[in-house]
């Protein structure tokens, strides 16, 4: 089958019946037709259609090594720097489509599955079947162009105790409650799965940050299930799609949902790791999955930072504020954020090398820097939009007003130094939806926690960084100056 069209994605989704609770009701009909989900489904469909557009076909797809069909570039196993650059160009083309605001496009986890599928010997440490399962699953997702999402974090009941003692000394997190000849049975919950209701498949993987201890064996696993598996339920947050007057929220609200496993049966062929906290702790690092995920994420966040720079530049032009030095200072800060991201991606791709499984893998230091730094830097971007826009972010009548009885007032009183009234309203509405609206608030939280809790990530970064050479240099300097310039008595 290979790379899907938008219609093929929608048709498959319409045939599935995941259990989804939203706004106090269970979704009974087809997912693509639900008012809270229809717009984001259409946006995802647009991404699939781009795979077939004459301009982007060669960027977004390549020839499958097994079927010969065109399949998504994010599935490509990179062997050379050119392959990595092709993967990066594919990430960028999809990210630009939503100004970087769609965070769970398929290329994110396709990248993880690609790396996992190549890490057979690592999986075989636990069980040779897990290596085969990971490789076969990757191939299925690639050839059927399935959309996957993941859920990693246990419910936030009591972070002061372990997963087995969450409430009244009992477990809440998803855990193994049974095993039979056909597979395993899972009960409990995971905190969140973005796009769960509109994805084809759910990857229930270890956390990228939380580390398991031997006591965590029942919570330690990696498996995949289809999103309409019996016993699986998604409980959605409030929908942030308030219609087309919200240029981003009205298109790109990737619904987030709590995931409940009510004795969900998972077939053995979809289990990739089981009851092995130590290996689960190394799931992403030891397989290089985290590096390829971070390559996609940093490319997407670059698209987003570039969009902020474009938007802010249009705003300063629109209302004539670029000559003020504090405005220039803030704009320059955004230029440096964009430049830093460009440099980090370029360094990661330029210093790529084969990993132990022969997969050409971007250099980790630049991408690890990006994933630790951008969650914090990203918070400045909407803050600067709010500072520049001020009351202009509220003087945004709707599209209906632009065509209705207020039209003349809008044209006269909302025009700006560089734009007509309607043009300025549309620009500032975009600014509001990227900085101030409910959609924007969710985006900020999303960027901040994207790879996990930044506080614990900082601790992990310190632990993983060899600082001895720098300490030695400073010690050497102190010795040198002390010897050559004895302290006066």
Ligand X SMILES: Cc1cc2nc3c(=O)[nH]c(=O)nc-3n(C[C@H](O)[C@H](O)[C@H](O)COP(=O)(O)OP(=O)(O)OC[C@H]3O[C@@H](n4cnc5c(N)ncnc54)[C@H](O)[C@@H]3O)c2cc1C
**Where do contacts with ligand X occur on this chain (CB under 6 A)?**
149-153, 156, 159, 191-194, 209, 256, 442, 445-446, 449, 452-453, 455-456
As to burial, measured by CB atoms within 10 angstroms (0-12 exposed, 13-18 middle, 19+ buried), residue 84 is buried
First to last CA, the chain: 83
In 23-147, the DSSP E strands lie at: 25-26, 61-63, 70-72
How many other CB atoms are there within 10 angstroms of residue 167's CB atom?
11
Q: How far is the CB of 477 from ligand X (least distance, A)?
A: 35
Q: How far is the CB of 413 from ligand X (least distance, A)?
A: 37
Tell me if 201 sits within 8 A of 242, measured CB to CB: no
Of the pair 400, 445, the CB lying nearest ligand X is at: 445
As to burial, measured by CB atoms within 10 angstroms (0-12 exposed, 13-18 middle, 19+ buried), residue 37 is buried
Of the pair 3, 232, the CB lying nearest ligand X is at: 232
Q: How far is the CB of 265 from ligand X (least distance, A)?
A: 21
CA-only gyration radius of the chain, Å:
24
Of the pair 211, 380, the CB lying nearest ligand X is at: 211
Query: DSSP string covering 424-479, please?
Result: HHHHHHHHHHHHTSHHHHHHHHHHHTTTS-HHHHHHHHHHHS--HHHHHHHHHHHH
Of the pair 13, 193, the CB lying nearest ligand X is at: 193
Of the pair 289, 425, the CB lying nearest ligand X is at: 289
Q: How far is the CB of 259 from ligand X (least distance, A)?
A: 9
Of the pair 149, 296, the CB lying nearest ligand X is at: 149
Q: How far is the CB of 301 from ligand X (least distance, A)?
A: 14
Dihedral-angle region of residue 431 (phi above 0 means left; psi in -120 to 50 means alpha; beta otherwise): alpha
Q: How far is the CB of 229 from ligand X (least distance, A)?
A: 17
Residue 257 is inside which H or E element, if any? Answer: strand 256-267
Of the pair 8, 453, the CB lying nearest ligand X is at: 453
């Amino acid at each position: 089958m290979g790379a899907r069209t938008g219609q093929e994605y929608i048709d498959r989704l319409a045939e599935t019946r995941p259990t989804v609770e939203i706004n106090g009701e269970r979704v009974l009909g087809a997912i693509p037709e639900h008012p809270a989900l229809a717009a984001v489904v259409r946006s995802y469909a647009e991404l699939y259609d781009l795979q077939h557009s004459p301009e982007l076909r060669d960027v977004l797809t390549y020839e499958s090594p097994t079927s010969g069909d065109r399949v998504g570039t994010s599935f490509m196993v990179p062997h050379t720097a050119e392959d990595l650059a092709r993967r990066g160009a594919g990430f960028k083309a999809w990210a630009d489509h939503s100004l970087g605001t769609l965070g769970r496009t398929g290329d994110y986890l396709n990248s993880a599955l690609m790396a996992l599928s190549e890490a057979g010997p690592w999986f075989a440490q636990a069980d040779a079947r897990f290596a085969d399962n990971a490789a076969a699953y990757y191939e299925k997702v690639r050839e059927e162009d399935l959309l996957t999402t993941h859920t990693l974090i246990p419910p936030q009941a009591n972070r002061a105790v372990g997963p087995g003692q969450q409430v009244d000394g009992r477990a809440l997190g998803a855990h193994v409650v049974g095993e039979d000849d056909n597979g395993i049975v899972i009960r409990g919950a995971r905190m969140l799965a973005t796009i769960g209701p509109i994805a084809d498949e759910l990857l229930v993987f270890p956390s990228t940050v939380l580390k398991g201890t031997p006591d965590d064996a029942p919570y330690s696993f990696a498996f995949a299930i289809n999103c309409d598996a019996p016993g699986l339920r998604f409980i959605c947050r409030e929908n942030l799609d308030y219609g087309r007057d919200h240029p981003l929220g009205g298109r790109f609200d990737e619904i987030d949902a709590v995931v409940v496993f009510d004795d969900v049966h998972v077939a053995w062929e979809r289990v990739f790791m089981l009851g092995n906290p130590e290996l689960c702790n190394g799931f992403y690092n030891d397989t290089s999955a985290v590096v390829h995920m971070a390559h996609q994420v940093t490319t997407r966040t670059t698209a987003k930072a570039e969009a902020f720079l474009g938007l802010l530049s249009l705003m300063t032009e629109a209302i004539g504020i670029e000559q003020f030095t504090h405005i220039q200072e803030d704009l320059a800060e955004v230029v440096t954020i964009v430049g830093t991201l460009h440099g980090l991606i370029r360094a990661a791709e330029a210093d790529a090398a084969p990993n132990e499984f022969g997969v050409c893998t971007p250099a980790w230091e630049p991408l690890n820097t990006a994933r630790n730094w951008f969650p914090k830097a990203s918070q400045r971007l909407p803050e600067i939009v709010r500072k520049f826009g001020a009351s202009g972010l509220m003087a945004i009548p709707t599209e209906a007003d632009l065509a209705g009885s207020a039209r003349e007032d809008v044209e006269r009183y909302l025009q700006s130094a560089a734009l007509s009234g309607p043009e300025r309203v549309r620009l500032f509405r975009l600014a509001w939806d990227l900085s101030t609206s409910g959609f924007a608030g969710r985006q900020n939280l999303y960027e901040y926690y994207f790879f996990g809790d930044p506080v614990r990530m900082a601790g992990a970064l310190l632990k993983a960084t060899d600082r001895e050479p720098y300490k030695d240099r400073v010690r050497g300097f102190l010795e040198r100056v002390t010897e050559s310039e004895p302290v006066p008595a």
